[in-house]
Homo-oligomer: A and B are copies of this chain.
């Protein structure tokens, strides 16, 4: 009953502003299609440069969400 199973998906969020903003952008995009987002973990912080200044911060994230206990769901291996 409360022995839930979680799925962990990996995304990369990006931003012109900074690391916190790249995390928020990535999670906002993920929450449009995934329910029950539970936690995230930063796996990598990178970025690219253009003419000597930062064009994008890119933050790798693992995002965990709870699988429905009774769903037929196509999500477990998504």
Contacts and interface: CB of A to CB of B under 8 A. Distances in A.
A25 to B, nearest CB: 5
What is the copy number of this chain in the assembly? 12
Contacts of A63: 77
Given A8-B60, A47-B39, A32 B72 contact: yes
A46 B40 contact: yes
Closest 4 CB pairs of A and B: A78-B78, A31-B52, A5-B29, A42-B45
21 contacts: A3-B16, A3-B56, A5-B26, A5-B29, A5-B30, A7-B77, A8-B11, A8-B60, A9-B77, A11-B67, A20-B20, A20-B57, A32-B73, A33-B73, A33-B77, A38-B48, A38-B49, A39-B48, A63-B77, A75-B77, A77-B78
